[in-house]
Amino acid sequence: MDYSRRVEKLQAILRRQKMDALLVTQPENRRYLSGYTGSDHGIGETSGVLLVPARGGIFLLTDFRYRIQAEQDVPWATVLLYPRGLLLLLPRLLEDLGIRKLAFESHYMLHSTAAMLAQALAKVGITTTPLKGLVEKMRLIKDEAEIDCIRRSVQLNEEVFGEVFPSIQPGQTEIEIALAIETTMRRKGAEQPSFSSIVASADRSALPHAVPGGLPVEKNRPLTIDMGLVLNGYCSDMTRTFVPGRADARYLELHRLVRRAQLAGMQAIRAGVKAGEVDRAARAVIAGAGYGDAFGHALGHGVGLAVHEDPRLSSLNHKQLRAGMVVTVEPGVYIAGWGGIRLENMVVVREEGCENLNSDTTWLDL
């Protein structure tokens, strides 16, 4: 990955915005700009923050526990340790660098932290300015090296599904299947799942975000598996619904309906189309069959270093899609007491259409 080009691009933006530096706290932004793989224990316990001055080299500020990892991952940054916390190190460092106006990522800094930071820096005459989504905006458009990482993540995810699928039997618990999926991911070299796998049988498949439990997979009822992994930092995300045993006529009708909606969504995607239009194209298919109320979430979301990122394929998003964006297309119908069907692929937005990163197999099309 070409980290120096990314940093230079950000530095040009900072100079245009009359900022002297940006403090990067968002973990995927930190990785995008530097390659640092440190993982945080939630927002309250960071493994380090990146200081990007508007000119010159970058700094990775971390604590004792992450020193060796930081130095190994980011030899192109100056690694500094804060033995007594960032708020004691930062004022002096910024003064030394002549930084008077510090921007921070207001969408990834706690309200309380921002208040303490502003107070500590005000004492030495430095102002803080909340900025939102600066690096995320850069991350929206993936370059071909990134798309290649995502493609490999999707392929590995499909390989995992393909390996686990033949072993799925009614009577197994959802959690056993989730475990088999996550074990296979790790064995095949994934860094980690990109989210907790969803395995939901029968009625429970009507919960879009079901947590796998100790209940058995029911024969002849819908089974939804939503799974993804992280490979070289990049995420995949895929949902398949099928019926262990024999699908009844209603299932077949609804599965075909959801699949038609998915294809309508994919066919609507190309550079220049508004995100909301894509959502509407898929939703119209489901609404046209009288199931509009059963599809209560947006059609899709961006995927990259984060498994959920912009752009959202939501009826509320009026922005145009651009070539190089990577999004999921995942319509669903959810019927309480009966179950749900969701089908999710990942695609790359291209000038003339979209590139499906998943290899749809015919048995899924019934």
- Provide the binding-site residues for a copy of itself, judged by CB under 8 A: 37, 39, 41-45, 47, 64-66, 68-69, 83-84, 104, 106-115, 130, 132, 175, 178-179, 182-183, 186-187, 192, 195-196, 206-211, 296-297, 307-308, 316, 336
Residue 37 vs 320, nearer CB to a copy of itself: 37
Report CA 157 to chain centroid distance, whole Å: 15
With contact defined as beta carbons under 8 Å apart, do 196 and 231 qualify? no
Sequential DSSP letters for 293-337:
GG--S-SEEE-SSSSSEEEEE-TT--PBP-TT-EEEE--EEEETT
The tokens 């959810």 sit on which residue? 334
Residue 158 vs 203, nearer CB to a copy of itself: 203
Measured from the CB of residue 117, what is the shortest distance to a copy of itself in angstroms? 10
Roughly what angle, to the nearest 10 degrees, separates helices 111-122 and 86-97?
A: 50
Measured from the CB of residue 8, what is the shortest distance to a copy of itself in angstroms? 26
Residue 40 vs 95, nearer CB to a copy of itself: 40
Residue 219 vs 308, nearer CB to a copy of itself: 308
The 10 Å CB-count burial string (b at 16+, else e) for 163-197 is ebeeebeeebbbebbbebbbebbeeeebbebbbeb
Residue 208 vs 222, nearer CB to a copy of itself: 208
At 88, give phi and psi (nearest 5°). -90, -30
Comparing CA positions, the residue from 189, 199, 178 lying closest to residue 152 is 189
Residue 336 vs 366, nearer CB to a copy of itself: 336
Measured from the CB of residue 308, what is the shortest distance to a copy of itself in angstroms? 6
Comparing CA positions, the residue from 236, 275, 247 lying closest to residue 359 is 236
Residue 41 vs 246, nearer CB to a copy of itself: 41
Residues 6+ apart with CB under 8 A from 39: 27, 47
In angstroms, the CA 251 to CA 215 distance is: 21
Measured from the CB of residue 98, what is the shortest distance to a copy of itself in angstroms? 25
Q: How many CB atoms lie within 10 A of CB 89?
A: 17
Measured from the CB of residue 214, what is the shortest distance to a copy of itself in angstroms? 8
Residue 69 vs 356, nearer CB to a copy of itself: 69
Report CA 341 to chain centroid distance, whole Å: 22
Measured from the CB of residue 363, what is the shortest distance to a copy of itself in angstroms? 28
Tell me the β-bridge partners of 18.
none
Measured from the CB of residue 362, what is the shortest distance to a copy of itself in angstroms? 30
In angstroms, the CA 183 to CA 173 distance is: 15
Measured from the CB of residue 366, what is the shortest distance to a copy of itself in angstroms? 26
